[in-house]
Structure 1
Amino acid sequence: MRLRVFTAPRMAEAMAQLRAELGAEAVILSTRRVAGGVEVTAALEAEEPVLIPPCTAAPAPARAPGPLGFHNLPPGLASRLGAGRLEDALAGALGFAPLPGGCERPVMLVGPPGAGKTLTCAKIATRLVLGGAAPVVVTTDDQRAGAAAQLAAFTGVLGLTLAVAPSPAALGKAVARRAPGQPAILDSAGCDPFDARQAMALHALATAAQAELVLVLPAGLDAAEAADLARAFAALGARHMIPTRLDAARRLGAVLAAAEAGPLLLTEAGTGPSVAGGLEPLSPARLAARLSATPARGAATTPQEAA
């Protein structure tokens, strides 16, 4: 609809302007007296449809062919992994290493809230005890309700004393009390690495303990978000990574994207809630098998199949 306003000293002159410009099909919407004459508002219905063009947003990137396409990998990484044998491509594109033992330097588990750090700490401590060691176990988490009690429930069963050290000074003292060669595992509060205050607090704790930072990150995140987190924790000193919830996640793009972005060395993976056996070493061969098997293993079930 075209709207026009005509003004003239007299109504006849305003109407003449209206007909000359809009024609006889124009509809008068209103008339009123104004300073110097009259004002006529008229409209002309459009004879042609209004066409709205489609959105010009960039098309979504093409998915990688084969099983890798299921995992929502970053395009560049998908391209590299798609060239040649998957196990060899993984070994060339990503880093793999054993989990640090915590004897020379304490191992400090870091990551966003809810990543599974406390359970992972309990799993590592359990494995060390079953192997004949008596690790020092410390938590710096005095923020989450019940965090210390949760870990204390595990360490109590293992016959270990849990130290709660939320400040750099307390953490430094807790770590200094260990015997030569005694492993130390440190649990930490969930950290938003993009918050300067939280990042500085975590850095202060890690420095006081002279710890090796290991990022604990759940599988199943958005790949780009996981990559951002990996880069942020790598900037704080993390060099190794334990992905968790591999038993529940169907797509592993976040795990691979984070390992590449850090870059972070893949060590072990959380594969279940069992404290005695819920960690498995990660290798190119094991990861390749998982990446290849997931689409068939995790296929959607139809209502008819479930019946």
Structure 2
Amino acid sequence: MRLKTFSADTMNEAMMLVKEHFGEDAIIVSTQAGEDGQGVRITAAIDQVEDEYDFDDDSLHGAYGDPVEIIADALLNNGVPPQISDELISAVEELSMEDPVLALAGALDRYFSFAPMPMGTAEKPILLVGMPGAGKTVTIAKLATRIVMQKQPVRVITTDTVRAGGFAQLEAFTKILKLKLISAGIPGELRTAVSEASGRGHILIDCPGGNPFDDDDIDRQARLIKAVDADVILVMAGGVDPMEAAEIAGIYRELGARRLLLTRIDMTRRFGSYLSAAALTGLQMTDVGVGPSVADGLRPMNPVTLARLLLPKSVVENFDDQQQTARGAYG
């Protein structure tokens, strides 16, 4: 089994590349927008690849064991809720693929939505919401760093004027990037700040963390979100209880969140909460945060990468996709 990702300006051009390299027997694993929303990326696989001596390597056949059993065990180990697990396993059985990584990736691509961060056109501000300690401030710093490295203008706004040290933490990052941090603690100030920054590049907004089960906290966050027309992204740390993660995601979905960004995946070994939050709310899975350092940046999430996170290292190491092989995909 061989896997490769093809990038092009249009879907037709990408499909032509797939056929040119893999022929008519290629299996399309996933399709998604290109980096920064530009172009198209297609991940394709071919079931049998002849080597340079023109013979099939029969020794690889059956190397994985029963993919359905492997995937079922992995989903159970990750704490994936039974309803979601059953749907994924049914899809795996229907796909009938020998490689567990490709089989699970195909099932994930069918039941989840993946989307890159909306950073291609800067048409709307990006506003991060979530619970305290989820990693919103560091994520804002990572996004700002990416934009600055691309030599594009960016404005950073914080509404976190209550938490002790909240402004100072983000200001330390923006100073390194030679950016002025804008403070807007109430909806009116936020509306004015966004209006003044409009047309001057990307706008990143760091919302204060709040208790999603506290009416006053939710009302405060809701008023800030409604103050501006923004792409609202829920930031969630890994390792949360799956059902609680889904409940929290549902609350923020009602407040306007449309994408889900997972942080601390380097410190997480079970991703059931991630799948639960996305499946039960329809939130799109977007970039993920690997480590606490701004230098670690953000990495894209797609069906193959998610499958690699869910499956055990012994299975992933047998998977030849010309990428990193350690479990965790970004390890």
Which amino acid in structure 2 is aligned with residue 247 of structure 1? D
SS of structure 1 residue aligned to 2:210: coil
Query: Cα–Cα, structure 1 residues 295 and 76, in superposed 2: closer, same or farther, change >3 Å?
Result: farther
| Pick aligned residue for 1:198 from 213, 217, 221 | 217
Taking the aligned partners of 2:239 and 2:145, their CA distance within structure 1 comes to 26
CA contact (8 A) 1:224 1:257 kept: yes
Report percent identity of matched pairs.
40
Following superposition, the deviation at residue 289 of structure 1 comes to 1.1
CA contact (8 A) 1:268 1:279 kept: yes
CA contact (8 A) 1:231 1:263 kept: no
Match of 1:270 in 2: 289
Match of 1:22 in 2: none
Match of 1:116 in 2: 135
Taking the aligned partners of 1:78 and 1:294, their CA distance within structure 2 comes to 20
Deviations, residues 241-282 of structure 1 (Å, cap 9, x unaligned): 101110001100011101112220000111012313331100
Which amino acid in structure 2 is aligned with residue 263 of structure 1? G
Taking the aligned partners of 1:295 and 1:169, their CA distance within structure 2 comes to 54
Which amino acid in structure 1 is aligned with residue 175 of structure 2? G
Taking the aligned partners of 2:112 and 2:261, their CA distance within structure 1 comes to 14
Matches within 5 A, 1:131-170: 131-170=150-189
Following superposition, the deviation at residue 180 of structure 1 comes to 1.5
Match of 2:110 in 1: 92
Matches within 5 A, 1:201-216: 201-216=220-235
Match of 2:201 in 1: 182
SS of structure 1 residue aligned to 2:204: strand
Which amino acid in structure 1 is aligned with residue 296 of structure 2? G
Which amino acid in structure 1 is aligned with residue 184 of structure 2? A
Taking the aligned partners of 2:216 and 2:229, their CA distance within structure 1 comes to 20
1:241 aligns with 2:260: yes
Taking the aligned partners of 1:73 and 1:97, their CA distance within structure 2 comes to 22
Following superposition, the deviation at residue 78 of structure 1 comes to 0.7
Taking the aligned partners of 2:234 and 2:268, their CA distance within structure 1 comes to 18
Match of 2:81 in 1: 74
Length-normalised TM-score, structure 1? 0.73
| Pick aligned residue for 1:229 from 237, 248, 272 | 248
Which amino acid in structure 1 is aligned with residue 80 of structure 2? L
Taking the aligned partners of 1:273 and 1:283, their CA distance within structure 2 comes to 21
Following superposition, the deviation at residue 185 of structure 1 comes to 0.5
CA contact (8 A) 1:127 1:276 kept: no
Taking the aligned partners of 1:181 and 1:288, their CA distance within structure 2 comes to 39
Deviates more, 1:254-263 or 1:179-188: 179-188
Following superposition, the deviation at residue 65 of structure 1 comes to 2.7
Q: Which runs of 5+ in 1 are unaligned?
A: 1-63, 299-307
Q: Give 1 or 2 for the bigger CA radius of gyration.
A: 1
Deviates more, 1:177-186 or 1:146-155: 177-186
Deviates more, 1:271-280 or 1:247-256: 271-280
Deviations, residues 182-213 of structure 1 (Å, cap 9, x unaligned): 11000011122222222121121112122221
Q: Which runs of 5+ in 2 are unaligned?
A: 1-70, 93-102, 316-325
Taking the aligned partners of 1:178 and 1:76, their CA distance within structure 2 comes to 45
Match of 1:52 in 2: none
Following superposition, the deviation at residue 104 of structure 1 comes to 1.2
After superposition, the CA RMSD in angstroms is 1.8
CA contact (8 A) 2:153 2:200 kept: no
Length-normalised TM-score, structure 2? 0.68
Deviates more, 1:108-117 or 1:273-282: 273-282
